[in-house]
Structure 1
Amino acid sequence: MSAAGVLGSTRSWFDRDVQFDHYGADPLPFGCTGARGIVQQFVELAGGQAGRSFDVLDASGGYGSACLGAGSEVIAEALATAVRQAGYVTDEIASAERSLLLERLFGPGGLFADRFPAADYRVSGRNSGSEGMELALRLVLESRFDRRLLRAVPGAEQRDIVLGFEGAWHGWSGGLLPLLNRRHYRVGLPAVAPEQFGFSTDHIPFGDVEAAQEWFDRNGDRVLAVMVEPVQGDAGILVPEQGYLRRLAALAEQSGALLVADEVLTFAKTGRFFAMSDDEGPIPTDITVIGKSLGMGALSTSMVIARRELGVRPTGTVSTSDLRPLTCAVIRAGLDHVVGEGLLERSAEVGAQLGRLLRERVVAPFPDLYREARGVGLLHGIELTEPTAARIGELRNCMIRNGVYVEFMSGAGRRSHGLRYVYPTMRVAPPLVVSADDVETIAARLAAGSQALRELAA
């Protein structure tokens, strides 16, 4: 049924009746009837203005996944061609489309070859970032024992700690729960059994070199792996100081631990493909997981890129979705478009402009609402003050009614080592196709939404 037909139906917005409530709060009183680029067409669903249609600029990129916005002709053509021609074989059968993608990424001169040469790394595909992180954890756990004899390899018997970070988010699936240091998400759900080859997770504050050094001094001989987001997303878009990630990588290597980079959110959003980088260049990792933007807003997919010596027991990595030809066609077309149009380089410039506008036109005029803005590339966050954090629902409605769509992150909360509490944060991460004029308008609309919230309390 067309959008117009839906609006005229006596059973309009039927998804509100039958879709599971994932959020536990009153649903947003808006519906979407279509989109093009970063512009979405919304309609009011309740109240005195029910039925009002208006345009909303997407400053979220669909949970950070729609890097080309809506209606990309490049992706539409790739999908149509792949459906007609590419087939749907699993990874048991070699695929021409899969080969084209992997050679484009990891072959000589490939987009990722300088960081992940094919002689040293292999790749697996998954349905989502959470599934990719589950496989990364599986690779970590199975690295310490003989997969045929199912007993520890010499020297690995005592390696039973995975180092995580306060405020981290790696996914909501069961195997990843131990990596979250938020009791709210874990209590009452399955935990890792205290058995042979079990593991525990320690959490330290992100970005604190001294805390990391202190922890490794005490636990270096027991650490199995370090799981890190190069920019912490759900914690509030926390960007570490230059040199921190490289130092963390060195500590992991010196201790014999594996370094796992969760780049599900950061992939292609920081002005380059990978955020595990600094002024010296790429920071080596043992496993890297990418997702969200990888599917170009058309598919949910992820990749796990791991050193060749890592693996699991036979059939332990089989997946229905492991780099199917259609998925590969969409990824290849999208990444070629990103490179051909210079979207990463442009996003770095536009992202710097966005960061400045958020500080000057949103945070500075509203110190009662916001603490600070921070970010890199097109991945930014505006941290709320404590009073505003209690009004997120109102704030979000104000933003949408003023023509801008944003999402909210949980914040890192209470941290150790004397670091301050980090409140929920508004994520501002528009698609890569956003223009300089677009970010000017986004900032103006964020300011208008902020003023609307302030007036509600007057």
Structure 2
Amino acid sequence: MVKVPAPGGRLEPADLERLRAGQALQMDHYGGGRLPFTCVQARGLVQQMVPLEGEDAGRVLEVLDASGGYASACLGAGHACLQPAFREGLERGYVTDELGSLERTLLLEELFGPGGRWADRFPGSAYHASGRNSGSEGLELALRLVLESGFDRRRLTAKAGREARRTVLAFEGAWHGWTGGLVPLLNRRHYRLGLPAPVSEAPFGLDVAFLPFGEQEPLERYFALEGSKLSAVIVEPIQGDAGILVPPPGYLRRLAGLCREHGVLLVADEVLTFAKTGQFFAMTDEEGPIPTDITVIGKSLGMGAVSTSMVIARRELSVRSSGAVSTSDLRPLTCALMRSGLRYLAEERLIERAGPLGVELRERLHRDVVEAFPELFLEVRGLGYMNGIELTERAAGGLSRLRHQLLESGVFVEFMAGAGRRSHGLRYMFPAMRIAPPLIAGEEDLRRIVERIREGTRRFVEAGR
């Protein structure tokens, strides 16, 4: 075992070498730009990290987590409410979707049954649910449901009257996952070139069209001209990888209305937004829930303990027999963890608290970071605990060094790619710093996070970028 000293202490040289070797054994998905730090233990918001390079190599740093582990660990690390759920889930068996499960029944009943937590939005009489390992797998199933909706399973051809509906509308800057079926939904050539392209020929081909997100006029014009060719729209209610882009009021409800008017399925990718915006679902406005045909949730759904996702779809949407069998479809252990975590979030009102605290967080970020370093940051955007600070072109060139300075100042944040070049004359959007802390973060935690972001940025400036 590696003996971990208190923050400020140093690992033994042999233990440091062991961590370096361990990182080298894992495939590097960052083109050599992976961060040279290792987390050695964590509790709540605090992670103890060790630099693997430089003069501080081996020294244990106390780091506040402002990322929530790719925005998935809404309860932070090692939360007590999950510990009994591990035991109970293990004792419920390991059945897959071919058999019923008591733990699965308890979860789905609690969410979608009469009086259930989400029954006002997704009543069990009108919706059903399926589980997957990840957000990408959930979106793959959603896309499969879209394609199957226009397919005649008996005649093995397109459904009568649906032959022309072969286009899916997506949005510039969107991120829905890396898997093969989803790459065509990303409008960035970097992600698509060199990989198999979808067949576009009739009757089963798939075309993808892109519009700038949150822009009303192009949306209205597109539906007027091409609405009869659309099978579905896939949308993030707040764009994540594009830099935390929040649409203007009324945009999402109008999108839902256009889909309904033109007989188009609306798929909401809430993998990232789930439980972060002051509501469980970001497809919500002052009028209440915004209707969708398919909603995919993930990340925070696994409470930072497991990777999981859930696809919630109208009951008339399904796939051919055995076409969506999955080893990971709402296994008892996963259900137990979700049920315990969701109950804790509701009882402690952590979702609702994220609304007003998120407003305070953005005010602090604007005053203490954006206004303090105007040469590095353009603006802060967000809702609840899902927030982003857009970098200037000047800062984007030093992003890797900025991340190092932030980590060494005791805060871990992530950076989104930005929407890049957009159509319709809209400005270029640079990468953004994402601040999406676990929901357990209170007012004092948020204050300390902002202080450390400011300190890391100051060090970055003083080091000459």
Partner secondary structure for residue 453 of structure 1: helix
Query: Separation in 2 of the partners of 1:166 and 1:160?
Result: 19
Q: Are residue 144 (structure 1) and residue 160 (structure 2) matched? A: no
Query: Separation in 2 of the partners of 1:159 and 1:29?
Result: 48
Residue 327 of structure 1: aligned partner: 334
Q: Are residue 253 (structure 1) and residue 260 (structure 2) matched? A: yes
Residue 346 of structure 1: aligned partner: 353
Check whether the contact 2:11–2:60 (CA below 8 A) recurs between aligned residues. no
Instruction: Select the residue among 116, 123, 129 that pairs with 2:129.
Output: 123
Where do 1:205-220 residues align within 5 Å? 205-220=212-227
Partner secondary structure for residue 4 of structure 2: helix
Q: Are residue 31 (structure 1) and residue 43 (structure 2) matched? A: no
Instruction: Select the residue among 183, 193, 218 that pairs with 1:177.
Output: 183
What are the superposed Cα offsets for residues 104-124 of structure 1, whole Å, 9 maximum, x if unpaired?
000011111000000100100
Partner secondary structure for residue 338 of structure 1: helix
Cα displacement (A) at 1:446: 0.6
Residue 393 of structure 1: aligned partner: 400
Cα displacement (A) at 1:27: 2.8
Partner secondary structure for residue 50 of structure 1: coil
Check whether the contact 2:302–2:309 (CA below 8 A) recurs between aligned residues. yes
User: Where does structure 1 lack aligned partners over 5 or more consecutive residues?
Assistant: none
Where do 1:367-378 residues align within 5 Å? 367-378=374-385
Greater Cα shift, 368-377 or 35-44: 35-44
Where do 1:79-228 residues align within 5 Å? 79-83=86-90, 85-195=91-201, 196-228=203-235
What are the superposed Cα offsets for residues 320-362 of structure 1, whole Å, 9 maximum, x if unpaired?
0000000000000000000011101111121111111111111
Structure-2 change in CA distance of 1:398 and 1:103 (3 Å):
same
What are the superposed Cα offsets for residues 89-142 of structure 1, whole Å, 9 maximum, x if unpaired?
111111110000000000011111000000100100000000000000000011
Instruction: Select the residue among 430, 439, 444 that pairs with 2:451.
Output: 444
Cα displacement (A) at 1:37: 0.5
Check whether the contact 2:89–2:335 (CA below 8 A) recurs between aligned residues. no
Q: Are residue 365 (structure 1) and residue 410 (structure 2) matched? A: no
TM-score (norm 1): 0.98
Query: Separation in 2 of the partners of 1:27 and 1:140?
Result: 36
Check whether the contact 1:3–1:34 (CA below 8 A) recurs between aligned residues. no
Check whether the contact 2:66–2:449 (CA below 8 A) recurs between aligned residues. yes
Residue 314 of structure 1: aligned partner: 321
Structure-2 change in CA distance of 1:3 and 1:349 (3 Å):
farther
Partner secondary structure for residue 426 of structure 1: strand
User: Where does structure 2 lack aligned partners over 5 or more consecutive residues?
Assistant: none
Check whether the contact 1:147–1:312 (CA below 8 A) recurs between aligned residues. no
Count the aligned residue pairs. 457
Partner secondary structure for residue 4 of structure 1: coil
How big is the alpha-carbon RMSD for the aligned residues of Structure 1 and Structure 2? 1.3
Query: Separation in 1 of the partners of 2:89 and 2:3?
Result: 27
What are the superposed Cα offsets for residues 197-231 of structure 1, whole Å, 9 maximum, x if unpaired?
11110000000111100111110110110000000
Cα displacement (A) at 1:3: 4.7
Residue 269 of structure 1: aligned partner: 276
Partner secondary structure for residue 433 of structure 2: strand
Query: Separation in 1 of the partners of 2:87 and 2:361?
Result: 35
Residue 60 of structure 2: aligned partner: 53
Partner secondary structure for residue 66 of structure 1: coil
TM-score (norm 2): 0.96
Partner secondary structure for residue 99 of structure 2: coil
Structure-2 change in CA distance of 1:3 and 1:281 (3 Å):
farther
Query: Separation in 2 of the partners of 1:111 and 1:150?
Result: 39
Residue 79 of structure 2: aligned partner: 72
Check whether the contact 1:148–1:313 (CA below 8 A) recurs between aligned residues. no
What percent of counterpart residues are identical? 59
Q: Are residue 232 (structure 1) and residue 239 (structure 2) matched? A: yes
Residue 4 of structure 1: aligned partner: 4
Query: Separation in 1 of the partners of 2:158 and 2:29?
Result: 40
